Structure 1
Amino acid sequence: MDYIQPRPSSIVAALYTARDLEVEVAILHGPSGCSFKHARLLEEDGMRVLTTSLADNEFIFGGQAVLERVLKGAEKDFHPKRMAVVGTCVSMIIGEDLQAAIEGSGVATPTIAIDIHAGFRENIQGVLAALEPAAAIGWISADELERQRRLLAAANEVERLRGAASRSYIEPSRGDLKHVAARRLIDLAQEGKRGVAIMNAKKETAYMFADELLALHDACPNTEITYIANLEDRGLPKVRADAARVLQGMREAGLEPKLLGALDEYGANGDAIGELIREIEPDFALIVGVPHAVPPEYTEGVEVISVTNGPRQVAPLREMGHAAVVVEVDLHPKTLGVRSIVESEFGAVVRSIARGE
């Protein structure tokens, strides 16, 4: 596929994976502006992101000395438990040896070198570039590395078949009006229809997507609805911690969902969810998070209301036959750095309608 729309960066993917590995300081070896927005967002999530701020002089003569100096300073100033050096296009072009710089710096902090740049068509290369040295140093097991490879391939395939990578360009959309979709959802529940509410969320986005299941439960506590969430205890350290917090929050709010899959299994979870839908035989379904992971053959004859955080995902979901598609705008920045469930826009609308407002 030749994409003409922006695609996720493999450098950013490496940074997020370093965070999931509980790296406390990540050093971008490149220009100060590289991945600036995501670096700032990740600092909201507790990981310090530093830069070697390479400029034209280092582009020519190399920046290993600069990197060694930043590594020493990071260890001295922040006392991290783990660090990572993340490559950029500049470090790749000038041929920097990141591992040699780590060794030359003399730092005692366990540190991995992530050799990556932005010249990959698929951002999963950035994830693998972080996981492979993490496995080599013993931060994750060889089995977990292979599990992650399988999950990444599955997620990539979902995006290729039914996601934002299914065509070269997709017009972004804000989706259906939230109050219209919420009114229909409540009407279906109050009419006594059998329903299923499914969260198939990607990692920390569950902190907000879980709220939409809670909102439906708040609005229709006595309706025949089966609640399902991908909050099983598997994955990288932060992913498992997030799942535990979200599940605890749902339980404290009075909802005990059926667990199906883990937060990093959203791309591989579609068939399992689909089989459960067939078993339940619902009249309607609320699917939030990564709804396009569920193949459309499983929801034939079911009125589906889906919630995504991707404006380019609206058109593919409508083509899959979903009756309404709602977009949670700017969801990801709102879930970085949080440690408990946060209210979603759609959830707030559902509760408001239920109260008659």
Structure 2
Amino acid sequence: MIIHPRPSPIAAAMYQLRDIGVDAIIIHGPSGCCFRTARLLELDGVRVFTSNIDENAIVFGASENLKEVLDYAVEYLKNKLNKEKPLIGIVGTCVSMIIGENLEEFANYEKATVIPVEVHSGFGDNTVGAIKAMESALKLGIIDEDEFKRQKYLLKKATEIEKSRGMAKREYIKPTYEDDTEEVINLLKSMKNKDTKIACVLNAKKETAYLFVHPLIVLNKYFNCVNIANLDENKGLKKIRNDAKNILKRFTPDYITGGLDEYPITGEKVVEILNNLDDIDLIVVSGVPHALPIENLKKDIIKIAISDGPRTYYPIKELYDYAIVEFDAHAKVLGKRDIVKSRFGEILEHELK
């Protein structure tokens, strides 16, 4: 049983709707539900509204609240963004599901294409919310069966990785705001003039790649690097493909392992490539390093991991020699369409030049 805070299925549904391409999301719940997620998605161009369920609506029902805010959202999108028939996601919350609100009845709303997602935080794994969003999109014909099956498989694999190797593998993981930055900087400075060959691996989740590729770009300036990345621009939903295309303008991989949404399954391919490389002195994996079965590496090479969040340090430290943590990486990349400077990358640039 996991007893430290984990992402919510409601939030996962909202991010998945963003990837599908909705113009707006309505949270059918109290105004405070998923406040941080809502504010972050606003940075990414998605307008987020709430039906503002209060005590009165809990007792007497909240359908009128939802109808009112849906009408308002349509008019807002029409007047402000010139959207004649917008694509709108409606996401359930604990409150709306407990009182028995039926979101499906709004799927036939005439003024907009509505994707209802009946979800609450008690479903368990956060990826359940994303899968439910994809199920609704499939019913409406917004995605096809092949893409649905692909997305569902990847989301389940992501959960599997977190439960077996990441932040969901223990009852409680203490957050830490310290890492091995100073040790890694000193190591790289000592190796700078030795014709060091580094395998730079980007295995990042979706838009976080805008930040996690930055330290690898810096390393390429000062070392002989072989670049491996999940930057297949032909895989995933439109936004995912466009993010890959944007990053490829600034970073050139020698090997491409998959798409930006395929980070849970690209690890084995990365290790296979690493095992076939000669004369590698150092490996740096940035993004979701615990998705790599790095223990299957046949060579005794120094391994450095760069990841997100204060609870990732201990899980990745069990797999790698050094662990670097980027704080609030996801918040920093939302709304961005170009490389975002990372904390570690900026330190590297300052210390290595």
Is TM more than 0.5 here? yes
Cα distance, 1:283 vs structure 2: 2.5
Per the alignment, do residues 110 and 101 of structure 1 end up closer, same or farther by CA in structure 2, a change over 3 Å counting? closer
Q: Which amino acid in 2 is paired with 1:236?
A: L
**Alignment RMSD (CA, Å):** 1.5
Question: Structure 1 residue 118 and structure 2 residue 121: aligned?
Answer: yes
Match of 1:203 in 2: 206
Where do 5+ consecutive residues of structure 2 fail to align?
none
Match of 1:51 in 2: 50
Per the alignment, do residues 335 and 257 of structure 1 end up closer, same or farther by CA in structure 2, a change over 3 Å counting? farther
3-state secondary structure, aligned to 1:239 = helix
Per the alignment, do residues 144 and 189 of structure 1 end up closer, same or farther by CA in structure 2, a change over 3 Å counting? farther
Match of 1:317 in 2: 316
* Matching of residues 181-260 of structure 1 within 5 Å: 181-188=184-191, 190-220=193-223, 223=224, 225-233=225-233, 234-250=235-251, 255-260=252-257
3-state secondary structure, aligned to 1:280 = coil
Match of 1:290 in 2: 288
1:12 and 1:82 map into 2 onto residues whose CA distance is: 18
Ranges of 4+ aligned residues in structure 1 off by more than 4 Å: none
Cα distance, 1:186 vs structure 2: 4.4
Question: Structure 1 residue 64 and structure 2 residue 63: aligned?
Answer: yes
3-state secondary structure, aligned to 2:123 = coil
1:7 and 1:59 map into 2 onto residues whose CA distance is: 26
Match of 2:23 in 1: 24
Match of 2:274 in 1: 277
Cα distance, 1:102 vs structure 2: 4.4
3-state secondary structure, aligned to 2:274 = helix
Match of 1:96 among 82, 98, 101: 101
State the identity %: 39
- Contact 2:232–2:256, Cα closer than 8 Å, also in 1: yes
Match of 1:166 among 161, 165, 169: 169
Match of 2:260 in 1: 263
Per the alignment, do residues 277 and 73 of structure 1 end up closer, same or farther by CA in structure 2, a change over 3 Å counting? same
1:110-152, Cα deviation, whole Å (9 max, x unpaired): 1110110000220011001100011111111100110111111
Match of 1:156 among 156, 159, 182: 159
* Higher deviation after alignment, 322-331 or 9-18: 322-331
* Higher deviation after alignment, 23-32 or 233-242: 233-242
Q: Which amino acid in 2 is paired with 1:135?
A: L
| TM-score (normalizing by structure 1) | 0.93
Match of 2:89 among 70, 84, 91: 84
Per the alignment, do residues 4 and 175 of structure 1 end up closer, same or farther by CA in structure 2, a change over 3 Å counting? same
2:342 and 2:64 map into 1 onto residues whose CA distance is: 46
Cα distance, 1:248 vs structure 2: 1.6
Cα distance, 1:175 vs structure 2: 4.2
* Higher deviation after alignment, 153-162 or 175-184: 175-184
1:248-291, Cα deviation, whole Å (9 max, x unpaired): 232xxxx4443211111111111111111111142210000000
Per the alignment, do residues 175 and 292 of structure 1 end up closer, same or farther by CA in structure 2, a change over 3 Å counting? farther
Q: Which amino acid in 2 is paired with 1:348?
A: E
Matched residue count = 344
- Contact 2:205–2:263, Cα closer than 8 Å, also in 1: yes
3-state secondary structure, aligned to 2:311 = helix
- Contact 2:90–2:114, Cα closer than 8 Å, also in 1: yes
Where do 5+ consecutive residues of structure 1 fail to align?
none
Cα distance, 1:194 vs structure 2: 3.0
Q: Which amino acid in 2 is paired with 1:213?
A: L
1:257 and 1:43 map into 2 onto residues whose CA distance is: 35
